């Protein structure tokens, strides 16, 4: 087909073919998207009457032909479906590889696998036998379908809308961006064509740095070209899926909470997160909370036991009085009038009783924490006298305990509670466990076996649910038939408690969450930030979105050369590449058939559930594989709870992921400490889009490391993860070009997320240049002409206007923008610089860096942690830059005083750049000084040492003594008559 030059259908991979007139069949006359007639008819029958690529409506004549053909063939449709030769590859694209594999399995395959397939067939047959009325009365329309055909007025309306930024705000913003690009072009033309010969090295360094800064600005600015806002309608969601007198039709949600070290992540913080989840405003039978204890600590287990008991009182109290937030620690610490809007006379009495119960609960948990400070020599022992299985944190079996749920304890009013499950995956020496990403993937499998909700919401242990309706906000998008079909996840912004009013170290990240993420929402969606995110489970399984066409066979996308420089002549593929393509085609065949698996006979179904395409992808668990086939979630009716627990223990085994696609194509992706960025990037490359949801009341709130040292270490971890992705095969510079599903502005955004640490190299050079200029008396800019002055003035004005217009459409305050700018410099010259060097060390020498978990609790005094200074090597580069610039300013003024009036003009430009550096590093200087202007001794010693070195350099330059021209002195001496 490739050699003949005939167009290939992008949906099924076959030739497009001709229409009734003998001409080439064209489905869309706007973009000429290659689609064969059979695929076009299938898409039309599914109700999709617009082009998959450009969104233009199909030709009405083509649609009429399909409708006539469909009406004429209704009586013979069943026979065509059973005839594999007539249907061919258009029976939802069953691949030839899958067929061969099934035939081989029939003769030489594993008999255990055959038994599994037969058991699934029996389950399907039992379900069919349970509904004999459906066979005798085929014309009867189900009640649910009747309701869908005639929805009420509210239910028929969209569940969410997109309203773009007003034109009077966005048009000037775009115009200034274009104007700034033009000014940058003229500016660099002037800088390159006017070198400074007396300081050529400094000039060249500054020009290279400025070019990189301009490139970085383009990467950061253009993904914000089309920002949007969204609004959700929870009332419409209830009108559509929660009708009176009927069971709720809302989709189930599995919550994931991850914790590692209970001594650094206090159990009370994790417990508040769990309690806020259990009390969420959502049907209790649709909510399950999984707590992953990756440290296998008995303290975490015992505190969860206490939490489950306290939840029996806390959950009904929250729902009865609709309190917010539903994390008790943060609810009781609010400084508000809690009597406002509370009309029930019993509220005051019950609130006081609940607060008293919570204080007693805190005492019990804190007693457990105090007891856990010192581990017994023989290890921990459970209440029944048996040793705790997780005494050896690096060698222990998998542990699962279900606390609450439909078969567990009920609340004090006798109502059912959401399911609460403790999970600690198996750990054995010699296995790679992949830290948080591995723990999340273990939760994916456990939840699929036990509850299998179609959606997953993951939060960090210190991010509690601040808005009890947050899940409903996400469902307004994910369950909207028009919007949610191609959405892989809904990302909420991160909001934080316990940060100082001025936000000295930009912990809130307001610019990123309120500016950048809104911009990405207008393209292909925001990046995944690791917490506060609701996933479509099918997207985590590596499947592509339903509306996207299948990918043609192509070269390995990890090859940079093959993606960037494609050859017209098809090269010969090596055997490994052929195998990878065959495996991908086999998996895609099963994926594309998931939505209509019930439409096939038993033989075709067995082809879809082939051992090659599933066990080698998902692992050796028949129960888990069956769960992947249930697109709408849920567990089999015949499932036994004890059997499911045994299977759940099996899927969290440390060897389960070996020789599978977990961490490569499925679940959270391995290979970086920032697995969130990488996982979201893979989903976007498959064609999924994500949505940014910003409800009026923040959905989740967490704690941030407000201490300077901890904040820098946090930024170091993020930056190192980006550097790791840059050096991996998943680098956005070359990965994912073959499918063409990642929009180019989205690719720019992902490139920006992995190259920003490298800005530290030109940034630290540019921050050093002002001090060098002041100490040497040289400058990087020649004498300015009128044209050059206009260019510099225009550049500064365009920078200011861009910032002002950005503030105007985003609603961010100027203080937040300035704090973000300051910490961009502080982090750039410290954490980002170290991340680049550590990334190179890991790539070249294989030296890995282990990170300690950031402490989640501050001191008792308000903002006490803010004023603590913990010594770390990350403090050295900013301290050095501060000292040399201060010394340079003193040297510059001394030199100007010595030379006279003419030296003050050039001094202004040099001092301006030096003050620019000092102002940006001022929060760092203030953090070093602490609350009482006390600095650690090691910092003082470093400061004195560096100051001494640069003082000696200054003395060597000797600015106070005029340079003596020896020739002039000799001529003067000759002319004197002695």
Is position 86 annotated as part of the catalytic site?
no
| Residue where a domain terminates, one of 31, 51, 66 | 66
Distance, CA of 317 to CA of 350 (rounded, Å): 8
Assess contact for 404 and 418: CB atoms under 8 A: yes
User: 59 labelled as ligand-binding?
Assistant: no
Task: Using DSSP bridges, classify how beta strands 253-259 and 287-293 pair: parallel, antiparallel or unpaired.
Answer: parallel
pTM more than 0.95: no
Triad 57, 60, 61: Cα angle to 5°: 140
Residue from 676, 710, 816, 895 carrying the catalytic annotation: 676
Question: What is the 3-class SS of 436-477, one letter each residue?
Answer: HHHHHHHHHHHHHHHCCCCEEEEEECCCEECCCCHHHHHHHH
Assess contact for 614 and 666: CB atoms under 8 A: no
Mapped onto helix, strand or coil, the DSSP state of residue 511 is helix
User: 285 labelled as ligand-binding?
Assistant: no
Distance, CA of 407 to CA of 543 (rounded, Å): 33
Tally of domains in the chain: 2
Whole-Å CA distances, 40 to 63, 87, 686, 697, 797: 9, 14, 22, 45, 54
Which residues, 6+ apart, have CB-to-CB distance to 467 below 8 Å?
A: 324, 325, 473, 695, 697, 698, 699, 700
Complete DSSP assignment for 308-349: HHHHHHHHHHHHHHT-S---HHHHHT--S-TTTT---TTHHH
User: Does some domain include residue 827?
Assistant: no
Q: CB neighbours (10 Å) of residue 642?
A: 7
Assess contact for 494 and 700: CB atoms under 8 A: yes
Whole-Å CA distances, 446 to 74, 148, 290, 425, 441: 43, 33, 9, 10, 9
Assess contact for 750 and 557: CB atoms under 8 A: no
| Residue where a domain terminates, one of 671, 688, 704 | 704
Question: What is the 3-class SS of 853-864, one letter each residue?
Answer: CCCCCCCCCCCH
Q: CB neighbours (10 Å) of residue 258?
A: 23
Residue 466's pLDDT is 92
Q: For residue 12, which of 31, 33, 29, 36 has the smallest C-alpha distance?
A: 36
Residue 844's pLDDT is 78
Assess contact for 520 and 752: CB atoms under 8 A: no
Complete DSSP assignment for 66-124: HHHHHHHSGGGHHHHHH-HHHHGGGTT---HHHHHHHHHHHHHS-HHHHHHHHHHHHHH
Give the tokens for residue 553. 């066979």
User: Does some domain include residue 153?
Assistant: no
Residue from 294, 503, 514, 521 carrying the catalytic annotation: 294
Binning the chain into helix, strand and coil, the percentages to the nearest 5 are 55, 10, 40
Which residues, 6+ apart, have CB-to-CB distance to 796 below 8 Å?
A: none
Mapped onto helix, strand or coil, the DSSP state of residue 492 is coil
Distance, CA of 696 to CA of 324 (rounded, Å): 13
User: Does some domain include residue 228?
Assistant: no
User: 320 labelled as ligand-binding?
Assistant: no
Distance, CA of 31 to CA of 9 (rounded, Å): 14
Residue 659's pLDDT is 84
User: Does some domain include residue 656?
Assistant: no
User: Does some domain include residue 160?
Assistant: no
**Which bin fits 740, alpha (ψ -120 to 50), beta or left (φ > 0)?**
left
Distance, CA of 445 to CA of 647 (rounded, Å): 10
Assess contact for 473 and 235: CB atoms under 8 A: no
Distance, CA of 945 to CA of 887 (rounded, Å): 13
Distance, CA of 909 to CA of 778 (rounded, Å): 11
User: 265 labelled as ligand-binding?
Assistant: yes
Task: Using DSSP bridges, classify how beta strands 455-460 and 228-232 pair: parallel, antiparallel or unpaired.
Answer: unpaired
User: Does some domain include residue 471?
Assistant: yes
* CATH code, domain with 254: 3.90.550.10
Q: Residue 583, class by beta-carbon neighbours within 10 Å (0-12 exposed, 13-18 middle, 19+ buried)?
A: middle
Give the tokens for residue 577. 């590449």
**Which residues of the chain carry a pLDDT beneath 70?**
1-8, 10-14, 20-22, 30-32, 45-48, 52-56, 64, 66-156, 338, 340-343, 406-408, 548-613, 637-639, 738-740, 846-871, 900-905, 927-978
- Alpha helix ranges (H) inside 652-743: 675-685, 708-726
Task: State residue 627 phi and psi, 5-degree precision.
Answer: -65, -30
Start-to-end Cα distance in the chain: 105
Distance, CA of 941 to CA of 927 (rounded, Å): 17
957: part of which helix (H) or strand (E)?
helix 937-957
| Residue where a domain terminates, one of 679, 704, 729 | 704
Is position 480 annotated as part of the catalytic site?
no
Per-residue buried b or exposed e for 860-870, using 16+ beta carbons within 10 Å of the residue's own CB:
eeebebbbbbe
Assess contact for 609 and 118: CB atoms under 8 A: no
Whole-Å CA distances, 300 to 297, 363, 434, 858: 5, 15, 21, 20
User: Does some domain include residue 59?
Assistant: yes
Distance, CA of 92 to CA of 69 (rounded, Å): 19
User: 436 labelled as ligand-binding?
Assistant: yes
Whole-Å CA distances, 531 to 161, 292, 519, 746: 24, 14, 20, 21
| Residues spanned by the domain of 12 | 1-66
Distance, CA of 670 to CA of 684 (rounded, Å): 17
Give the tokens for residue 339. 């009597």
* CATH code, domain with 55: 3.30.40.10
User: Does some domain include residue 871?
Assistant: no
Residue 393's pLDDT is 85
Assess contact for 939 and 903: CB atoms under 8 A: no
Per-residue buried b or exposed e for 875-912, using 16+ beta carbons within 10 Å of the residue's own CB:
bbbbbbbbbbbbbbbebbeebbeeeeeeeeebbebbbe
Task: Using DSSP bridges, classify how beta strands 487-491 and 533-536 pair: parallel, antiparallel or unpaired.
Answer: antiparallel
922: part of which helix (H) or strand (E)?
helix 922-929
Complete DSSP assignment for 26-43: -S-TTT-----HHHHHHH
Per-residue buried b or exposed e for 401-416, using 16+ beta carbons within 10 Å of the residue's own CB:
ebbbbeeeeebeeeeb
Task: State residue 962 phi and psi, 5-degree precision.
Answer: -70, 145
């Amino acid at each position: 087909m490739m050699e003949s030059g005939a167009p290939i259908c992008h949906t099924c991979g076959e030739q497009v073919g001709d229409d009734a007139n003998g001409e080439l069949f064209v489905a869309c006359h706007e973009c000429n998207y290659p689609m064969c007639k059979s695929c076009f008819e299938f898409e039309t029958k599914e109700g999709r009457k617009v082009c998959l690529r450009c969104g233009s409506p199909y030709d009405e004549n083509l649609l009429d032909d399909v409708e006539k053909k469909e009406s004429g063939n209704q009586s013979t449709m069943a026979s065509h479906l059973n005839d594999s030769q007539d249907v061919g590859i258009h029976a939802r694209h069953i691949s030839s590889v899958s067929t061969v594999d099934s035939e081989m399995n029939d003769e030489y395959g594993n008999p255990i696998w055959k038994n599994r397939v037969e058991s699934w067939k029996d389950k399907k047959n039992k379900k069919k036998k349970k509904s004999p009325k459906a066979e005798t009365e085929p014309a009867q329309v189900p009640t649910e379908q009747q309701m869908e055909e005639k929805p009420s007025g509210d239910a028929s309306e969209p569940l969410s809308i997109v309203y773009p930024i007003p034109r009077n705000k966005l048009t000037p913003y775009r115009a200034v961006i274009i104007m700034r690009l033009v000014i940058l072009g003229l500016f660099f033309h002037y800088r390159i064509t006017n070198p400074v010969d007396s300081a050529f090295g400094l000039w060249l360094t500054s020009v290279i740095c400025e070019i990189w800064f301009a490139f970085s600005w383009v990467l950061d600015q253009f993904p914000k070209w089309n920002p949007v806002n969204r609004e959700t309608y929870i009332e419409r969601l209830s009108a559509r899926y929660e009708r009176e007198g009927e069971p709720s039709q809302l989709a189930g949600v599995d919550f994931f909470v991850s914790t590692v070290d209970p001594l650094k992540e206090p159990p009370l913080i994790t417990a508040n997160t769990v309690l806020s989840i259990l009390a969420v405003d959502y049907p209790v039978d649709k909510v399950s909370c999984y707590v992953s204890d990756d440290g296998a600590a008995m303290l975490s287990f015992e505190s969860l036991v206490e939490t489950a008991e306290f939840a029996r009182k806390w959950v009904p109290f929250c729902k009865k009085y609709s309190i917010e937030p539903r994390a008790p620690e943060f609810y009781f610490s609010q400084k508000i009038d809690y009597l406002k809007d509370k009309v029930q006379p019993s509220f005051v009495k019950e609130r006081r009783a609940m607060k008293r119960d919570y204080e007693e609960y805190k005492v019990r948990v804190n007693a457990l924490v105090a007891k856990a400070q010192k581990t017994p020599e023989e290890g921990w022992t459970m209440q029944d006298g048996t040793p705790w299985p997780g005494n050896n944190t690096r060698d222990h079996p998998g542990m699962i305990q279900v606390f609450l749920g439909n078969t567990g304890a009920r609340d004090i009013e006798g109502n059912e509670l959401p399911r609460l499950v403790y999970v600690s995956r198996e750990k054995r020496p010699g296995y790679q466990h992949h830290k948080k990403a591995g723990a999340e993937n273990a939760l994916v499998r456990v939840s699929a076996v036990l509850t299998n909700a179609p959606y997953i919401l993951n939060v960090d242990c210190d991010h509690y649910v601040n808005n009890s309706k947050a899940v409903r906000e996400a469902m307004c998008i994910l369950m909207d038939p028009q919007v949610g079909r191609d959405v892989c996840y809904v990302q909420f912004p991160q909001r934080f408690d316990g940060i100082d009013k001025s936000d000295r170290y930009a912990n809130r990240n307001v610019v990123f969450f309120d500016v950048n993420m809104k911009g990405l929402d207008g393209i292909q969606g925001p990046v995944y930030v690791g917490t506060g995110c609701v996933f479509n489970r099918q997207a985590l399984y590596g499947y592509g979105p339903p509306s996207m066409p299948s990918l043609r066979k192509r070269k390995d996308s990890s090859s940079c050369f093959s993606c960037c420089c494609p050859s017209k002549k098809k090269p010969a593929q090596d055997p490994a590449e052929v195998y990878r393509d065959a495996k991908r085609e086999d998996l895609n065949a099963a994926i594309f058939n998931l939505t209509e698996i019930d439409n096939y006979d038993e033989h075709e179904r067995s082809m879809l559930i082939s051992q090659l395409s599933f066990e080698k992808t998902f692992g050796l668990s028949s129960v888990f594989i069956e769960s992947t086939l249930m697109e709408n979630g849920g567990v089999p009716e015949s499932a036994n709870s004890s059997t499911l627990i045994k299977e759940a223990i099996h899927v969290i085994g440390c060897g389960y992921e070996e020789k599978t696609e977990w961490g490569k194509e499925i679940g959270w992706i391995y290979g970086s400490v920032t697995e969130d960025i990488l996982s979201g990037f893979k989903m976007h490359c498959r064609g999924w889009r994500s949505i940014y949801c910003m409800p009026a009341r923040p959905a989740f709130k967490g704690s941030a490391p407000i201490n300077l040292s901890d904040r820098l270490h946090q930024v170091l971890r993020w930056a190192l993860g980006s550097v790791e992705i840059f050096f991996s095969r998943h680098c956005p510079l070359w990965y994912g070009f073959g499918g063409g599903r990642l929009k180019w502005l989205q690719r720019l955004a992902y490139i920006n997320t992995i190259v920003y640490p490298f800005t530290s190299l030109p940034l630290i050079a540019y921050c050093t240049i002002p001090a060098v200029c002041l100490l040497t008396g040289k400058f990087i800019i020649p004498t300015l002409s009128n044209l050059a002055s206009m260019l510099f003035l225009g550049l500064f004005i365009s920078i200011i206007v861009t910032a002002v217009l950005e503030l105007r459409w985003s609603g961010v305050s100027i203080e937040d923008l300035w704090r973000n700018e300051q910490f961009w410099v502080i982090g750039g010259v410290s954490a980002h610089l170290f991340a680049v060097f550590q990334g190179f060390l890991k790539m070249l020498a294989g030296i890995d860096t282990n990170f300690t978990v950031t402490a989640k609790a501050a001191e008792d005094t308000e903002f006490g942690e803010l004023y603590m200074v913990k010594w770390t090597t990350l403090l050295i580069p900013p301290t050095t830059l501060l000292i040399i610039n201060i010394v340079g300013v003193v040297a510059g003024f001394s030199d100007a005083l010595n030379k006279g009036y003419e030296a003050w003009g050039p001094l202004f430009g040099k001092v301006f750049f030096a003050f620019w550096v000092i102002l940006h590093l001022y929060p760092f200087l203030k953090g070093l000084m602490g609350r009482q202007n006390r600095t650690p001794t090691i910092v003082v010693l470093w400061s004195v040492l560096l100051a001494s070195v640069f003082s000696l350099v200054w003395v060597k330059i000797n600015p106070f003594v005029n340079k003596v021209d020896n020739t002039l002195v000799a001529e003067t001496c000759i002319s004197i008559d002695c």
